[in-house]
Structure 1
């Protein structure tokens, strides 16, 4: 079995990377869980043919803003085959993107619902649904080469990153360092509304630009139902990231 560290660096485009990623079986626990969720199903989705494979990033390969989550939900992205699609987290995020002019519609229901992200791409540090939404450190690290390669391939256009939650923040910083940006020591601490501007590393290509990275509470039900993350708070971070990347907002 080929590992992400062997396969991901060979991808010459984001499309090639996405295609290779969907065949990954590197983490036995995650493979078992994503396929078990597809067999057992949730009663309300009993008639669904679950995707039950790694879920790729979604959005244009030349996006200016990258939104980094945690991992697909067992009955969301793992069911629909598209990140932030078919669950409440996706509903909240896509509505906020639509509100600020970065998505073509306010809903994200199925892979063929017509949603287009406008200058924005979704990705995650772990591409398979984990039990209890908690990947292990080993699973995070095994999956990291996909994220590193995605960042490298997006370097010509990438203007900012929004990280949803502390897990994504901690997983992203090493990937950014591997992709050519200088991450300070000690590493910046996650917080909602935090902005860190990463300079290109000394070894990076001369054309590489500084990259603003924004922290935002995750769009989980726990955060949105309790008011820890409100729609206004989410819109504020997304609009700031869009402005930093030179994208117009509505």
Structure 2
């Protein structure tokens, strides 16, 4: 359940207006995984919902709302906020079930499905939002007849395709990070994803602990509201370093990441 504020205009269809709301209200706003998909801003607390509701007029480009009024409870979980000198001029902040955010990612103004390099692998028996790659069996068995966890199967496929090495599916990807200089001071830097990654149980040391291979959800398991979002479909998988995985964890996937995994050659089972 979340508190929904009533947006001015039609941000579901108006991309520029949608950008304004996202720019102002950030992660509270998203397109829903419903038919049809709609754009709304939903909040965990009524206080934050009311704070942002007072800004809707200004953010949308319409006349700013009158300020200085406080939300009043209706009695059923909803709230009202007066937005003009006339007490009848008010909006409703409604307490209602929050739909899942669409797993489609906006790329150049178009919502696209993530379909990464493991798209041609057989899907595991259980696929769903919020499922981990290392909790589910892949449906494939190892040479000794034991069932393979999904992440182990994906790493095995990657290693086989690269002559015994694991390669990052985002090699060369750059992101802001912190490093320690010669004086042991933390300073901002730019990290770059390496090509070759390692499995602790298989590859002999030494290697950088930040280069452990992990299977990343391109659309993260959890959205910015900590709700289940990305699934464990093989299409949503990318092998990357644990250092990059930490950076991307539970954030909206960067457009560069989506473009690269969708354009990548698919691995053979």
Q: One fold, TM greater than 0.5?
A: no
Which protein shows a greater Rg? 2
Q: Larger helix proportion, structure 1 or 2?
A: 1
Higher relative contact order (CA 8 A, sep 6+): 1
Shorter-chain TM-score range: under 0.3
Instruction: Name the structure where strand makes up a greater proportion of residues.
Output: 2
